[in-house]
Amino acid sequence: MKRSSGVLLPVFSLPSPYGIGTFGKEAYRWVEDLYYCKQNYWQILPLGPTGYGDSPYQSFSAFAGNPYFIDLDILCEEGLLKKKNFETINWGSSDGRVDYDALYSHREGVLRKAFSRFEDEKALDDFRERNSWFEDYGLFMAIKKAQGQRSWLEWDEPLRLREPGAISLVKEELADDIRYHAFVQYQFQKQWLALKKDANEKEVEIIGDIPIYVSLDSADVWANPEMFQLDENLVPREISGCPPDGFSESGQVWGNPLYDWALMAETGFEWWIKRLRFNFEMFDVVRIDHFRGFEGYFAIPYGAETAGGGHWEPGPGLAFIEAVKEALPDARIIAENLGFLTDGVNELLEASGYMGMKIVQFAFDSRSSENDGPETYTENTVVYTGTHDNDTIKGWSRTAPPASVKTAMKHFKIWSKNRLSAAMINLAMGSRALLVIIPMQEWLELGSEARINTPSTLGGNNWRWRLTQKLLQPWIFGSIATMTKFYLRTEVEPEVKKRRFL
Three-class SS of residue 123? helix
Catalytic (active site) residue 389:
yes
Catalytic site residue from 73, 198, 245, 389: 389
Q: How far is CA 35 from CA 17, 56, 135, in A?
A: 24, 26, 38
Expressed in percent and rounded to 5, the helix, strand and coil fractions of the chain are 45, 15, 45
Cα 161 from Cα 389, distance rounded (Å):
36
Which is nearest to 283 in space by CA: 3, 1, 101, 11? 11
d(CA 42, CA 439): 10
330 class by beta-carbon count within 10 Å (0-12 exposed, 13-18 middle, 19+ buried):
exposed
Q: For 277-298, b where at least 16 C-beta lie within 10 A, e where not — what string?
A: ebbbebbbbbbbbbbbbbbbbb
336 in catalytic set: yes
Mark whether 289 is an active-site residue: yes
Rg (CA), the chain: 23
Catalytic entry in 54, 136, 289, 365: 289
Q: Strands of 311-314's sheet, edge to edge?
A: 252-257, 238-242, 296-301, 311-314
d(Cα 26, Cα 16) in Å, to the nearest integer? 7
- Pick the catalytic residue from 336, 365, 370, 391: 336
> Which residues belong to the active site?
289, 336, 389
